[in-house]
Amino acid sequence: MQKDIFGSQELSREAEFFHEKIFGRAMPAEIGAAYVSANRMLLKDAPNLAPVRMELILERAMDVEAIEFALRRRVPQNVLTKKLLILCYLAESRNDYFATFVNEQHQPFRAFFKLSLYTFRSLYKLLKGRCLVWMYDVI
């Protein structure tokens, strides 16, 4: 039987998995509930977005950051990028994530160090993402 990709259980599982991979911590229940509603409201009728095989990514616990980056560069209008963006919007509106988005201290050296690190890391993620997309046919 085919799974309902907009079912509460599927979306909640998805949100939990994405959240852990991106923010590296457990997800508050409110974000999970809002993620389900936002997906239904925004993505249910979005024919211009390229579909992505979410169940495969979740089943194999694939590197979602790498896959998204590779897909974004190839097909910017894809469902995975939008889903991760939804999660970021939801996180940004809660004060537990304030420090993830906003820099409150003057720390230029830390900023340059982290940005340099993430630039190299992004190159690695891009290569990894391309391999995963090619090997598993996620789109």
Partner 1 sequence: MSFEVIIVGSGPAGVSAALELRDRNILILDVGFRAPKLPYELKQNLYDLKKNTADLSPVLLGEKFESLDNLVSPFISPKLKGPFLKLVTRDWRQLSPINSSDFEGLLSFAEGGLSNAWGSGVYRYNDRELKDFPIKAIDLNPFYDRLTSEIGISGCDDELTPFFGSTQGLLPPIELDRLSSDLFTRYSRKKRLISQEGIYIGKPRVALLTEALGERQPYDYHGLEFFKPNDPAIYNASYTLRKLEKQPNITYRSGFLVQRYEETSEGVKVSARNINTNITEEFFARKLVLAAGTISTSKIVLSSHNDYSTRLPLLDNAIAFIPLVAPRFIGASQEKRFFSGVQLNVVYSKDEVDAPIQGSFYGPAGILRSDLLMDFPLSLKGNLTAVKYVTPALGVLQLFYPDAANANNYLKLSSNGDLEIRYQRKAFGAIEKHFISTFRQLSFFSLPALCKYPAPGNSYHYAGSLPMKTQPQTRYEASVNGLLFGTKHVYVVDAANFPLLPSKNHTFTIMANSMRIAHHLRRELES
Q: Which residues bind partner 1 (CB under 8 A)?
A: 22, 30, 34, 37-38, 41-43, 46, 48-49, 65-66, 68-69, 72, 76, 81-82, 84-86, 88-90, 92-96, 98, 100-112, 114-115, 118-119, 121-122, 125-126, 129
Phi, psi dihedrals of residue 32, rounded to the nearest 5°: -60, -45
CB of 88 to partner 1, least distance (A): 5
The C-alpha atoms of residue 12 and residue 87 are separated, in whole angstroms, by: 11
- Tell me whether residue 3 or residue 94 sits nearer to partner 1 (CB atom): 94
CB of 93 to partner 1, least distance (A): 4
The C-alpha atoms of residue 88 and residue 38 are separated, in whole angstroms, by: 12
CB of 39 to partner 1, least distance (A): 10
Q: Which amino acid is at 113?
A: F
- Tell me whether residue 112 or residue 134 sits nearer to partner 1 (CB atom): 112
Angular region, 24: left φ>0, alpha ψ -120 to 50, beta rest: left
The C-alpha atoms of residue 56 and residue 48 are separated, in whole angstroms, by: 21
- Tell me whether residue 1 or residue 115 sits nearer to partner 1 (CB atom): 115
